[in-house]
Structure 1
Amino acid sequence: MSLSYDLMDLETLTLNAKQIQDDVLKEILTLNVHTEYLQRFLHGSSDKELFKKNVPVVSYDDVKPYIERVANGEPSDVISGNPITGFFLSSGTSGGKHKILPMNNKFFENMIQLNALSSPFISRYMDGAKQEKEMKISFCRPLSKTPSGLPVSGVLSSFVTSNYFKNQPKEMYTSPKDVTLCPDNKQSMYCHLLCGLVQRNEVTSISAYFASTLAHAINFLETNWKELSSNIRHGHVSEWITDRSCRDSVSTILGEPNPELATLVDYECSQKSWEGIITRLWPKAKFLDCIATGQMGQYIPTLDFYSNQLPIFSMVYASSETIFGINVDLSCKPHDVSYTCLPNMSYFEFIQVDDEENKDEIVDLVNVTLGCYYELLVTNYFGLHRCKVGDILQVTGFYNSVPQFRFIRRKEMVLSIQTEITTEEYLLKALNHATLVLEASNLMLMGSTCYADLSTIPGHYVFYWELKSKSINGVELVNSVMVKCCCVMEESLSYLYRIFRSKDGSIGALEIRVVQEGTFDSLMEFFVSRGSSMSQYKTPICIKSSEALTVLEDKVLSRFFSDKCPHL
């Protein structure tokens, strides 16, 4: 299934958002009103006002028992008027636990529409130049099954194993579908890079779902470029690529020995610095396409360094619960991206989070206020009704009658020692400020996570950092630089944190623990081994698993502490 859209299609969608949202809710309620879940509240009515009055706002844990009943073999109409054909498995790296969410093929149809609606904006950015091939770094986790036999997998793994992906034109991507479908992530990554290098002069964009995946791909290339070059030089795929379908399809693309290309790869990858390596190896690449908002923002300096600051497009905002919107302004910086809501995907409501007087008031999509912060509620076609997604968004503007939103943070409090609340937003601001200190010292932050260490008296914040030199000289840690990073981060945290740290003394000095290179790859492998999909993996901004902490602690090289209290 393929769709073609132009800019006028988005105009149509956004000119009458209220009517489209009302129609979506009417369709969802008519479809689901006789389910066991909704019958309790609506008694067979599909009236919008009754829905708003009677159907409660819920979290995932509230509806989890209903979802699990369907997963265990009860009929879909426990929660959904249409058959549930499978379940999405959330990555588990944002909230610390996996969720399974019901779905059917309509979600994939919406994904195809999402991609089609985004295409005109990319074409406009290309300004008449032909977009030849996309080097897409994506992976597939093998499907598991519920007790009733329904498939369970991440959104992206579910999509790439569906006919919706398999029927897309193969000439769109450098990698054949067998590479994406390869169940071994290491073999898959190697073959993605091999195919991309062989077709380097056709690549006009490089993409992954998250910015962290592209950073991981560069690390992998740095470790394996000599072997990749040898494969190109001799026209032979390494023997350890044992997945037969993957090997056969890649061998076809590799073709005859190509010593000229191998020599070029050798030359570029053996330079003293890898600055600009992406544009040196893929000279026609015009942009990177990956989500770089929220916690992915920490990878922007790294990607800027490796790509000679190619534009980074965060094209879509989507989750396992729903597809929300697209980025229509590709000229903006990743930190400033706003997403234009697509009103036909789900029914959206919002709870204002910065208004104590009306904090329980729920407003429709078209009634949000510019500049205000909201928690997102989703009513979708698959059994979620007024469900909190856990994302906090800010209204930044309007596209016709549709609001545009900037992703601010996940709702959950991330760190706390006393009664201070340190959110993802504070942590990312602190990391951004510390990154400026690192850049002046020829160092790059390759990965960061944190936790509240309550084993010390007083308790204190601990950050695990993986650092890399911008040259081949290796990482040289200067105590004054690292201590300054600790101090700069503390200055960026909340006023209440600084009170407890400075006046009360009930929070200890912030600590940075520098870990070995490759540690955050090991952390990713840990989470993937426990059910996360590599395509959807996000480095947790805060570690909540004692086993994951052990992975990090085993790799600690050095420890640094703030040497002064932050200003008030």
Structure 2
Amino acid sequence: MSLVVRAGSWMNTLIVNPTKQCKMLLLLICVILGLLGAGGFLLLWKTVRRRPCRRKKCISGLFWHYVALRVVSRQGFSQRKRLEVDSKNVHRIQEDILLQQLQQNQNTEYGRQFCFKEIADSDTFRRRHPLTQSSHYSEYIQRIAQGEENVLLSGRPPWLVVSSGAMVPGTTATAADSFRQGTALCLSTIFSTYPGVQEMARFQLASSVRHSDARIPIMSSTPLPPFATKYLSHLDSLPAAVLKITSEPELLYACLLFALWDKTLRVLEAATTLYLSDAFTYLQNNWLMLTEDLDKGYLNPQLQLPDSTRQELNFLLRPDCSRACELRAQFEQGFEGIARRVWPELQVILAMDSAYDELAGDSLREFYCKGVVVYSALYRAAEGLIGVNLWPEKMEQSYVLCPRSMFCEFLPVDQLEKGDQQPPTMCMWDVKESGLYELVISSGTGLCRYRTGDVVKVTGFYNQCPVVQLLFRQSQVLSVRGERISEDQFYQTLKQATQLWPGARLIDYCCVESSIHGLLCSGSDPHYEVFLELRGVRNLSEEQRYKLDQCLQEACPLYKLFRFKGSIGPVRVHLVQPQAFLQLHQYIRNCSGASQMSRILRRKEEIEFIQRKVIS
């Protein structure tokens, strides 16, 4: 009763004395704002407490860094829950995605040609539409590039993406889905698995944008949607000015310089393990110049940079003699395990580690980045997101196929050997564990029943979703007499042969079939030409080179049979100069715009390039 009386008395006082009421309300608001401000400051401090003094950000930078962490984490957590639900209803989700894609493009020329309006389920779609390859779409893509609309996609695509030398149209919806279902989910997985991870240093490929006759951008990879770029830029410790550099060697140099400056990095990110391995190779050959720039606090004048970009980057740099001395001491000890010695808190390497980049992945795990997890988060192609890796701490890279991203079919590998041009396919709900399949996709980019050439192995299931490992590409097979040696099989054989060469460490390699014109060692018998970059040996004897051929015979009985008959000649081994493959990769990216490299060279100009680097 007394409390009621006192409360009433207090209210009466406020009503009678409005000035006092305003003061008390103002005081209350100030207290609340003060508490909120203090809480926000503590959260910001917690988020960036380990940032070194020389890399401090302004208050707005700290705020957006915190916001980006929370937004990406929340988005990824939401997508993980959605994947959990979708993976229990794979059949329904796959049917819905396919019919949605067909409906979107039913009024295009391609949609009318294949009667998309009349297709009501996946069985009808698979009966009516043939399996396709890139050649099937070449005329359609050419017309799109010249400005025609409503050909494969409704309207005009915002960009074209280079895929293994060909082009495919891109859409903003596909790019946004790829970010939400893929990038955000996997970043959220990293943040939850490694709570201390805050920033990452991104080793960015130089942007190579051309334009078609109709001024449609032709890009080397699918761009991030603007909202994703906004948030991810706040998580990247590299200055935005670095990304203005268009020359690949200069861009790689600047990425390394600013990454080396920051001792507390915990994540290194690159598009592929191959590119990151190239970055460490470049570091091994240019560390003197990099440490000198850190010591002086400005970029080396020899770098070919626009004056405005150079001034902007020099303004951001500061002389750091202690860091330069620390780095020199580590580099002088050698480069085995250098990543953890340069960045003591480094926890994760975030890069696609596919079958094509297995050597690069091995190089990072076993040499440059010993003790650091290599996390291949996404199985992604120019056509869109295919799968996500939910297990960052596992060395084996496996991907859950995303049922809501694209419609997937599977060609059993044993059926491909029969020579049928339109073999029957299986759907996600039909595949068997341990089965080997070529992946076929129908995506929102307008490609229908498109044979990707990727051979995958189903290693298990996440609820009803297949979990796959990427083994090799059908096109990446050596065959001069029909013996068909896959890229993975050849690489495993090459590793075995390298162990028979005392002191040798394999840096990189590529292969060529002798049927391609212009090889160094000509001969009447078909054979393989192999170009190797080795470290630890200066030359190989003929007997040592022949060890590779012997190992290949042991690994492939059919190859051994052809060798015994004399219908295939021995492998010819050539050693190339240091950095030859780093230069080859840059050359291929500059010429074709492709971001993924091939170990089996088919183009004459690429073969001639590596031939010029041969030293023995």
- What is the TM-score of this pair, normalised by structure 2? 0.81
Amino acid in the other structure paired with 1:557: I
- Separation in 2 of the partners of 1:245 and 1:327? 41
2:403 is paired with a residue whose SS is coil
In 2 relative to 1, CA 478–123 (structure 1 residues): closer, same or farther, beyond 3 Å? farther
Q: Is the Cα–Cα contact under 8 Å of residues 105 and 446 in structure 2 kept in the other structure?
A: yes
Amino acid in the other structure paired with 1:153: M
Give the match for residue 295 of structure 2: 233
Give the match for residue 138 of structure 1: 204
- Separation in 2 of the partners of 1:384 and 1:43? 13
Q: Is the Cα–Cα contact under 8 Å of residues 476 and 599 in structure 2 kept in the other structure?
A: no
Larger Rg: 2
User: What are the residue-to-residue correspondences of 1:51-200 with 2, within 5 Å?
Assistant: 51-75=125-149, 77-81=150-154, 83-90=156-163, 92=164, 98-113=165-180, 114-126=182-194, 128=195, 130-156=196-222, 158-159=223-224, 163-200=226-263
- Separation in 1 of the partners of 2:235 and 2:535? 34
- Separation in 2 of the partners of 1:174 and 1:481? 46
Amino acid in the other structure paired with 2:399: Y
Given candidates 530, 548, 557, the residue that maps to 1:463 is 530
State whether structure 2 residue 391 is matched by structure 1 residue 339.
Answer: no
Superposition RMSD in Å: 2.3
1:118 is paired with a residue whose SS is helix
Given candidates 380, 386, 394, the residue that maps to 1:324 is 386
Amino acid in the other structure paired with 2:450: C
CA offsets per residue over residues 38-63 of structure 1, 9 Å max, x none? 21222632412432221121111112
Alignment gaps of 5+ in structure 2: 1-67, 516-521
Give the match for residue 63 of structure 2: none
Q: Is the Cα–Cα contact under 8 Å of residues 340 and 402 in structure 1 kept in the other structure?
A: yes
Paired residues, what number?
530
Displacement of 1:467 after TM fit?
0.9
Displacement of 1:485 after TM fit?
4.0
- Separation in 2 of the partners of 1:191 and 1:236? 11
Give the match for residue 210 of structure 1: 272
- Separation in 2 of the partners of 1:453 and 1:205? 42
In 2 relative to 1, CA 106–524 (structure 1 residues): closer, same or farther, beyond 3 Å? same
1:168 is paired with a residue whose SS is helix
Given candidates 269, 274, 283, the residue that maps to 1:221 is 283
- What is the TM-score of this pair, normalised by structure 1? 0.88
Amino acid in the other structure paired with 1:101: V
Amino acid in the other structure paired with 1:110: D
Give the match for residue 101 of structure 2: 28
CA offsets per residue over residues 226-272 of structure 1, 9 Å max, x none? 221122112222233523564345334423x211111111111122x
- Separation in 1 of the partners of 2:508 and 2:441? 32
In 2 relative to 1, CA 135–478 (structure 1 residues): closer, same or farther, beyond 3 Å? farther
CA offsets per residue over residues 373-402 of structure 1, 9 Å max, x none? 111111111211111111111111000110
Q: Is the Cα–Cα contact under 8 Å of residues 462 and 510 in structure 1 kept in the other structure?
A: yes
- Separation in 1 of the partners of 2:244 and 2:428? 38
CA offsets per residue over residues 542-564 of structure 1, 9 Å max, x none? 11122222222222222xxxxxx
Q: Is the Cα–Cα contact under 8 Å of residues 447 and 466 in structure 1 kept in the other structure?
A: yes
- Separation in 1 of the partners of 2:372 and 2:309? 30
Q: Is the Cα–Cα contact under 8 Å of residues 400 and 462 in structure 2 kept in the other structure?
A: yes
Give the match for residue 611 of structure 2: 553
Give the match for residue 564 of structure 1: none
Q: Is the Cα–Cα contact under 8 Å of residues 443 and 467 in structure 1 kept in the other structure?
A: yes
Give the match for residue 359 of structure 2: 298
In 2 relative to 1, CA 166–124 (structure 1 residues): closer, same or farther, beyond 3 Å? closer
- Separation in 2 of the partners of 1:339 and 1:42? 34
Amino acid in the other structure paired with 1:138: Q
Q: Is the Cα–Cα contact under 8 Å of residues 103 and 116 in structure 2 kept in the other structure?
A: no
Given candidates 395, 409, 412, the residue that maps to 1:349 is 409
Q: Is the Cα–Cα contact under 8 Å of residues 88 and 103 in structure 1 kept in the other structure?
A: yes
Amino acid in the other structure paired with 1:69: R
State whether structure 2 residue 546 is matched by structure 1 residue 500.
Answer: no
Displacement of 1:131 after TM fit?
0.4
Amino acid in the other structure paired with 1:268: Q
Given candidates 439, 443, 449, the residue that maps to 1:380 is 443
Amino acid in the other structure paired with 1:50: T
Structure with higher RCO (Cα < 8 A, 6+ apart): 1
Amino acid in the other structure paired with 1:450: C
2:292 is paired with a residue whose SS is helix
- Say which is worse superposed, 519-528 or 24-33, in terms of deviation: 519-528
1:397 is paired with a residue whose SS is strand
- Separation in 1 of the partners of 2:427 and 2:384? 16
Give the match for residue 54 of structure 2: none
Displacement of 1:323 after TM fit?
1.0
Amino acid in the other structure paired with 1:544: R
CA offsets per residue over residues 45-82 of structure 1, 9 Å max, x none? 2412432221121111112111211111111x111135
The percent of aligned pairs where both chains have the same amino acid is 23
CA offsets per residue over residues 404-438 of structure 1, 9 Å max, x none? 11111111262222232222232222233234445
Give the match for residue 9 of structure 1: 82
Amino acid in the other structure paired with 2:76: Y
In 2 relative to 1, CA 482–135 (structure 1 residues): closer, same or farther, beyond 3 Å? farther
2:231 is paired with a residue whose SS is coil
- Separation in 1 of the partners of 2:392 and 2:499? 25
1:79 is paired with a residue whose SS is coil
Alignment gaps of 5+ in structure 1: 93-97, 559-568
- Separation in 2 of the partners of 1:170 and 1:418? 51
In 2 relative to 1, CA 551–171 (structure 1 residues): closer, same or farther, beyond 3 Å? same
- Separation in 2 of the partners of 1:378 and 1:109? 18
- Separation in 1 of the partners of 2:360 and 2:95? 39
Amino acid in the other structure paired with 2:599: I
